[in-house]
Amino acid sequence: MGIEESSIRGSAAISALAAAVICSAAAIAGGLVSDRPVAITPGTLTASAESGQPRSSSGPDMATVPGRLTGANSCAASSCHGGGRVAEDLSFAASQVWQRRDPHARAWQVLTQPLALEMMRRLAAPGTEPIPATEDTRCLNCHVSTESPYAEARVSETVNHRDGVSCESCHGAASGWLAEHTTARWRGYSAKRKAELGFIDTTGDLLKRAQICADCHVGGEGKDVNHDLIAAGHPRLDFDFRVFHANEPRHWTAGGPGDRNRALNVELRQAFEAEAWLAGQVAGGRAAARLLQDRTGEGRPWPELAEYSCFSCHHDLRADSWYRLARGSVGRLQWGTWTFGPKAAAFGGLGGGVSELAQLRQLMQRPLPDRGAVREAAQKLDSAFSGIESTFPPKLDRQGLIALSLRLIDEHAVVVAASSGSVADAAVPLAAGTWDEAAQLYLGLHAATAARRKTGDEVTAEEEALLEGLRQGLVFEENVDSPGSPGFADRVREWSLAVAKFRELLQGRAAQ
Amino acid sequence: MIRICTVVLMLIMRAGFLRAQEPSVGVCASVFGGEGSQSRQLVGLQICFKCHAAGPGAGQDELAEQLGIAVDGGWIRGNELRIWGGEDRHSQAYATLQGETAARIGRALGREGAIHRDVRCIACHSAYPISQLSAVDLLIEEAVVKTDLRLTQGVSCEGCHGAAGDGFEGNAESPLRGWLNPHVNPDIWRYLSPEEKCRNGYSDVRSVVSRAKICASCHVGDVSMGRVLTHEMYAAGHPPLPPFELETFEDLMPKHWMEFDEKSPELREKFQQRAAVKRGDAESSQGRSTVISALVVYAAFLRLTADLADPAGGEELQGVPRPVWPEFSQFDCYACHHDLKSRGWRQTAQVSGRPGRPRLTPWPAALARVAAASSGGAAAFGGVEQRLDESVLGTPFGESAAVTAAARDLAAACEAMALSIESTGWSGESQRQVLEGILAAGGGLVKPVADYDSARQYAWAFAVLQAEVAGKKRAEAVEEWFGRESGLSTRSGVPLLLDLKVGEPVQLLIPGATKEREILQIDPRQVLPPIAGYDAVQFQAAFREIRQKLTAEAAPQ
């Protein structure tokens, strides 16, 4: 477990690097990743609960109208989630864990930091005064809990905003269910009944969890980290549910003997690591398809450059450009390289979406994609996710995991060959435009390998070393936030050879 | 005998030339649109050899005497073609299409082994108008390349001076005779007005407006001649087109002509007596040329942008498929093409005021803005420029109809200003104002922040104007202010690439030649690193130091 955990955190470091494209400080402060393993014990929690600052929250309307926020404070009583009964179950300390460890609790606070002020200054129209980020709904819709995304451009501050992204963002606005939730009856309620009251049950549903995360970490209506925001200084959103989930300070039980939901605990499933990765692919893909529809709206920036690989354009011009050599570049932007990087392989095992994705990609890689046609194609892809979701999770045994890994590798080679127009170039799978795809490939392989380990399949030291080599090959050089630096170019061939070797080992395993 | 012939010829020609005279601002229809050398035949440079390829010791015979060829005090140099063929890279323009870089570009564009026959390349790499070439799938036949020297001799005489032959038969618009006929009689030719020459297809190379426009047709681009360097070509490996500053480029070319004030007093006096259009005092000012060319080059860029963005532009340009808008080559290369760094100068400098929205290529506007300010046109210029900015930045890559309209309006404003400066005077005060304007812009005292190419424009223009004020050569001023020992280099660590004659010498057999010759192939390993290493903040500081130094020198002791 120790090794496994540290290697997941290693892969989190890649996400951090990708997020650090613009500003690494913001990636940490903005709560994308935690850079330290979370070690919370009942003892530390009890101690910290005593010294914790009381949170100020007046809580708005507490009437029984469902769908209204009640505020983080309404969950934090010591007999509820405030830590008083932590010995019984970690979830009784959820408020404390969130408040003390979880970056989501500081999501509002980062809007007051120097980078946020600087971003707002850059975003202000020339000659106008910047508005505070804490009043700009482009920021607030993800950086605080809202009942529904604010439609107006600017709102005044409320006390609840200061809670950042709190309990109800993920578990549902509590006005309708809070009272019931505190009674003994609650545990007997059906999932349907709970949902009617506005409660979002995350217990047994990995896909649901991923969808909740993706709503901000990929985006959605009113929640758009577009190219304007990125250029102003916001870190790019490189969502990987499995990595983010592993880094989220755990405020629920990990499936120990005392876990009353043990039967429902998806984290105990053998293929959990691969399922979590797949859940992120599915939820992230659907969120991206919906976000893209939203982005085609009138008055929105178009073409939306955040849809494309950063490194398609953002690379120094070089004489010995491996970028050019590897891709046979024609000067076009590469679309959807992060969110839709490994989709065909992932979806191949699920219920479809492959042709819808190809259609959308074709439209988006034109110099000026047609808004209407893109919206329509994105809608079709969105609809295709219903089929994909209905077959989630697929049955992934040892052989299934090996097959998934092989599909990922082979698809990556195809993606590269298709971009370069030459199959011969497939031997060089890692190019600037495909850093995203390469990172996705690594994350997928890592997940599948971790799941294989749980199924009892032996993962050799050689495989471990190859995976670690892939991770290191993706890390940017010091002081550079792009893969385009000359030293990185030298690693391209090494990387692709490692992938080829890994593939060979997998094929050997598959035959066993 | 010669004298009699001259008189007869003069009479014949006058008859042809007695048409309405146009205002003598030095521009004729063949330069700003209208009929042009595109519809005339090239005669090829072999004919020019007779008079313009003299070697040392020439000038002793009768012809030389008649032409005024002489090392001292001659009207022409007489060795123009030797300069062109020996030092001027225009003579290598076609040959480079057969080099390694071109071959690589050809592979990337799916034209392996055929890039030297592609009319999109020939449009700029040869004097041959592509409208006169027959091509299938944009490729001309290999036989033409092998046999027609006019194609393969690169950007030869007629590329700039205009096709010297007759108009094609059946073309009613075209005058019957080309300029070769009158030209061979210098006693007539020399004193004709530029308009008269133009009517026979000769470009007005005396006018700076016209000269800059001719250069810009390749060095910026011109849709009507099929001269468009697209992003696809760049991505395939075409080296970045450097920014264009007329005086600097002429000096680096180098010049194969003598300026009016370099000619003997006798010849100058004779010219002023006999010429249909006299020389003005201001015509020889290099500072004035720099200012005029800045406006003309910006206008050319804006017209190219408008023609490419125009929603009514059609599917083809001169038989070449029209690039789909947004054509990225019209946008700031280095807005996107830079490795990402947190806290890079681009973010802190607020380059466009609209983060995340690529602006148009900034260098053509850089000097034009200074020129407009110094000629009193700042207000009118600024208004249209703001409209253009809004149309470009309002949505990523701009709204094409609004971009087209604003770009054409601003181009017209620039052309009007350029013509106005050319037709009115140029004073020491004008020169001082422009110098001050360049220093303020380069030093970052006014927006916007200079990118690498704008910085080169400021440095080049500063050197031209400062050299003239100090009575030095341009190259000396470049060395003094921007060379290895200068404040700029020591401060920024990465000097601007100001000498364009850097490259890799390669041996190539130029079509039509019998043996290989050395040509200079642009070396991306030298050209590209300074772009990546450029830091606007350091450049500004260096330029402010120059400004302080000059201010201190100018202050009364």
- The better pLDDT of the pair A496, B511 is held by A496
Contact B240 A301 (CB under 8 A): no
Least confident stretch, A114-128, A143-157, A345-359, B215-229: A345-359
Chain A residues inside the 8 Å CB shell of B356: 226-232, 301, 305
Among A352-356, A475-479, B411-415, the range with the most confident prediction by mean pLDDT is: B411-415
pLDDT of residue A323: 54
Give me A438's structure tokens: 């390469």
User: Pairing state of beta strands B504-508 and B316-317?
Assistant: unpaired
Global model pTM greater than 0.90: no
Q: Which residues of A touch B524 (CB under 8 A)?
A: 317-319
Residue of B nearest to A299 (CA): B395
The per-type count for chain B, helices as H runs and strands as E runs, is 29, 4
**pLDDT tens-place string over residues B141-172:** 999 998 898 999 999 999 999 988 877 655 55
| Spatial contact of B330 and B146, defined as CB atoms under 8 Å apart | no
Q: Is residue A391's pLDDT more than 70?
A: yes
Query: Residues B474, B248: contact at Cβ < 8 Å?
Result: yes
Least confident of A34-48, A485-499, B317-331: A34-48
Task: List pLDDT tens digits, range A396-453.
Answer: 999 999 999 998 888 877 665 554 444 344 444 444 346 888 889 999 999 999 999 9
Give per-residue pLDDT as tens, B367-407: 999 999 988 878 888 899 999 999 999 889 999 999 999 99
CA A386 to chain centroid = 20
Q: Give which of A316, A366, A425 to mutate to test B binding, by max B Cβ within 10 Å.
A: A316
Which of B232, B347, B397 minimises the CB distance to A331?
B232
Pairing of strands B517-521, B504-508: antiparallel
C-alpha A372/C-alpha B453 separation (Å) is 38
Asked if B232 reaches chain A (Cβ–Cβ under 8 Å), the answer is yes
Q: Which of B486, B325, B533, B111 is nearest to A366 (CA)?
A: B325
- Please list, in sequence order, all residues whose beta carbon lies within 8 angstroms of the beta carbon of residue B141, skipping any fewer than 6 positions away: B117
pLDDT in tens, B510-523: 766 778 888 888 88
Q: Which positions in chain A touch B109 (Cβ < 8 Å)?
A: 330
Report the Cα B14 to chain-centroid distance in Å: 32
Q: Which residues pair with B158 in a beta bridge?
A: none
List of residues 6+ apart from B439 with CB closer than 8 A: B462, B543, B546, B547, B550
Looking at CA atoms only, how far is residue A7 from chain B in angstroms? 26
Q: Tokens 């220093």 sit at which residue?
A: B439
Distance CA B503, CA B235 (A): 20
Bridge partner residues of B530 (DSSP): none
- A331 at the B interface (CB within 8 A)? yes
Q: With contacts defined as CB-CB under 8 Å, which chain A residues touch B339? A: 314-316, 480-482, 484-485
Q: Provide the 3-class DSSP secondary structure of residue A149.
A: coil
Could you give the CA distance from residue B311 to residue A368 in angstroms, rounded to a whole number? 13
A313 in contact with B, Cβ within 8 Å:
yes
Res. A4: pLDDT tops 80: no
Q: pLDDT, tens digit, for every residue of B63-73?
A: 666 666 655 56
**Which tens digit of pLDDT belongs to each residue from B1-48?**
444 444 433 333 333 333 332 333 334 544 544 345 567 888 999 889
Q: Does B108 touch chain A (CB under 8 A)?
A: yes
Amino acid identity, position B290: T
| Mutate: best of B228, B342, B449, partner A, most A CBs <10 A | B342
Give the span between the Cα atoms of B243 and A241, in whole angstroms. Answer: 47
Q: Indicate the SS3 state at residue B179.
A: coil
Q: B355 vs chain A: nearest CA distance in angstroms?
A: 5
In DSSP notation, A23-90 reads: -HHHHHHTTS--SS-----HHHHHHHHHHPPPPP---S--SS-TT----GGGG--TTTTSSTTTTT-G
CB atoms under 10 Å from CB of B405, counted, come to 17
Average pLDDT over residues A27-43: 32
User: What is the spatial distance between Cα B29 and Cα B38, in angstroms, rounded to a whole number?
Assistant: 13
- Contact check, Cβ <8 Å, A485/B339: yes
The reply to whether A125 touches chain B by the CB within 8 Å rule is yes
pLDDT tens track for A306-360: 999 888 888 887 766 555 544 444 677 888 889 887 776 677 667 788 889 999 9
Q: Does A486 touch chain B (CB under 8 A)?
A: no
Asked if pLDDT for residue A377 goes beyond 90, the answer is yes
Mean pLDDT (chain A) is 80
- Give CA torsion, residues B284, B288, B292, B295, to 10 deg: 160
**Roughly what angle, to the nearest 10 degrees, separates helices A435-454 and A486-511?**
30
- The distance of B123 to chain A (nearest Cα, Å) reads 21
**Worst-scoring range by mean pLDDT, A12-16, B221-225, B497-501?**
A12-16
pLDDT in tens, A146-186: 999 999 999 999 888 999 999 999 999 999 999 999 999 99
Categorize the per-residue pLDDT at A482 as very low, low, confident or very high, splitting at 50, 70 and 90.
confident
Residue of B339, B354, B396 with shortest CB distance to A482: B339
Peptide bond preceding B175 in cis form (omega within 30 of 0): no
> A364 or A19: which carries more pLDDT confidence?
A364
- Put simply, the answer to whether B240 touches A317 (Cβ < 8 Å) is yes
Q: How confident is the model at residue B264 (pLDDT cuts 50, 70, 90)?
A: confident
Task: Choose the mutation target among B234, B339, B534 for the interface with A, i.e. most A CBs under 10 Å.
Answer: B339
Q: Does the beta-carbon distance from B343 to A23 stay under 8 Å?
A: yes
Judged by a CB distance cut-off of 8 A, whether residue B234 touches chain A is: yes
**Whether the predicted pLDDT of B117 surpasses 50:** yes
Task: Kindly report, residue by residue over A254-289, the tens digit of the pLDDT.
Answer: 766 666 777 778 888 999 999 999 999 999 999 999
**Segment A485-491 mean pLDDT:** 64
Establish, for the pair of chains A and B, how many residue pairs have beta carbons separated by less than 8 Å: 121
pLDDT of residue A415: 60
pLDDT tens-digit readout, A40-76: 333 333 333 333 333 333 433 444 577 899 999 999 9
Instruction: Give the per-residue SS3 of B71-118.
Output: CCCCCCCCCHHHHHHHHCHHHHCCHHHHCHHHHHHHHHCCCCCCHHHE
CA dist., res. B354 & res. B312, Å (int)? 28
**Does A208 score more than 50 pLDDT?**
yes
| Residues on chain B touching A317 (C-beta within 8 angstroms) | 240, 333, 337, 524, 528, 531-532
